[in-house]
Amino acid sequence: MKENNNLKEFNIFKAPYLRSCDSTRNNTSYIMKSFLIAFVPLFLFYWIKYSFIPLISNEISFSTYLYPFVFVLFSALFSFLFEALYFSLVLKEEDCFKKSYQSFSLIPGIILSFVLPINTPIWVLMIACFFSSIVSKMIFGGFGYNLFNPAMLAYLFVMSAFYKEISNGNLIIDGISNVTPLNNIKDLLFNNFNDNLLTKDYLIESFLGNNSHSIAESSPIFCLLILAYLSVRSLINYKLSIIYLLSCFLFTFLLPYSLNYDNSINFSLYSILNGGIMFASVFIVTEPVTSPRNACAKYIYVVFTALFTVLLRLFSDYNEGVASAVLFMNLFSQTIDKITSKIIVSDSFKKKAIFIFFIILIIFIIVLYMLLRLKELI
């Protein structure tokens, strides 16, 4: 056997030669960096409404005015530094800062500062950042391998471990109640308490933004604007957000409605406009790493997240819905992904029918359970 010599040699690559990620706009780092811009409008709204306007009318001092900015900055910085530390100490990387930047450590930090109450003491924030960066992200293998949403896990952790510290807070910004409006939600439904919260005016007010408790919950309308921006740039799948919102709306509407609750439409509007649902629909539920890969599985994941959000909000004694629901579904996202991927490509119609039936059955059982519980309580 002989091979021709003196021929021009070429480099080898894996097909295809063309990659959309070769352009500057379509690769992962660009997409994750674009998310940073999306946080700005919500933050600016909060900063202007609760810090800048009070500053002009001389209600707060200049240092208090800067506090929300410092809060977000510290959170981002802590997350960045913790990951850099992990890279340098545990993984023995040389370029630890660059590595930390490349694993998009800023984003969970910023989300954390958004969802935590603004009066959280800085040392609690630091613990939360440690928990989100190291425990729930880096130990799992870094960006792309984390099982749980880092910010949500850390949020849940500090909310349960340091609830007293957070609710007493350092009260740097005055006049901010640490009680979220969601405490009322069960009272509204079960005890007909404080009906003026279900009026049209209050709903419009809360749609525009009236909650100073945390940045994430401050303004639903800005969340929607960010959703529009992110979908125009096709950075997230807007259908997931819409389905999440719609399912939350439907579940909170239909359940009281079927029990002849008078104000059920206002009640469901109230419950999606207050609390973290709006923010979660943009940043948490659509978060790609911890959700399934399969396009169809994503929808199932989102519907179930909505279902558990409503379930936890209505019946949990614990003042928390979205974060627990998201974490609970994170646990199943890989399983859903695997099962759905197998079912979709399978040729047998029977398997698909059984699968769809099974999904509907689970939803039905949970809804039925909620209905029975509600009947007891109302």
Q: What residue ranges bind another protein (CB under 8 A)?
A: 1-4, 7-23, 26-32, 102, 142-145, 237, 288-295, 298, 337-338, 341-342, 344-347
| Residue 236 beta carbon to another protein: minimum distance, rounded to whole angstroms | 9
d(CA 304, CA 325): 8
What is the rounded distance in angstroms from the CA atom of residue 43 to the CA atom of residue 56? Answer: 18
Residue recorded with tokens 């600016």: 44
Compute the least distance from the CB of residue 265 to another protein, in Å. Answer: 34
Cα 53 to Cα 55: distance, rounded to the nearest angstrom: 5
| CA-closest candidate to residue 71, choices 127, 120, 35 | 120
Minimum CB–partner distance for residue 298 and another protein (Å): 6
Q: Choose between 67 and 299: whose C-beta lies nearer to another protein.
A: 299
In b/e form, how buried is each residue of 138-154, taking b as 16+ CB within 10 angstroms? beeebbeebbbbbbbbb
Nearer to another protein, 293 or 373 (CB): 293
Cβ at position 76, least distance to another protein in Å = 19
Q: Which of 32/259 has CB closer to another protein? A: 32
Write down the least CB distance from residue 145 to another protein, Å: 6
Say how far apart CA 263 and CA 55 lie, in whole Å.
39
Cα separation values, 246 from 150, 242, 305, Å:
25, 6, 12
Q: Which of 278, 320, 305 is nearest to 116 (CA)?
A: 320
Is 47 or 299 the residue whose CB approaches another protein more closely? 299
Q: What is the DSSP letter of 141?
A: T
CB 347 to another protein: min, Å = 7
Among residues 159 and 236, whose Cβ is nearest to another protein?
A: 236
Full DSSP string of 62-126: HHHHHHHHHHHHHHHHHHHHHHHHHHHHTS--S-HHHHHHHTTTHHHHHHHHHHS-TT--HHHHH
> Whose Cβ is closer to another protein: residue 319's or residue 341's?
341
CB of 60 or CB of 240, closer to another protein? 240
**Alpha-helix residue ranges (DSSP H) falling in 106-198:** 106-115, 122-130, 150-161, 163-168, 183-191
Least distance in angstroms from the C-beta of 61 to another protein: 42
Closest CA relative to residue 309, chosen from 256, 373, 244: 244
User: Burial level of 32, CB count in 10 A (0-12/13-18/19+)?
Assistant: middle
145 vs 193 by CB, closer to another protein: 145
73 versus 344: smaller Cβ distance to another protein: 344
Q: How far is the CB of 101 from another protein (least distance, A)?
A: 13
CB of 333 to another protein, least distance (A): 9
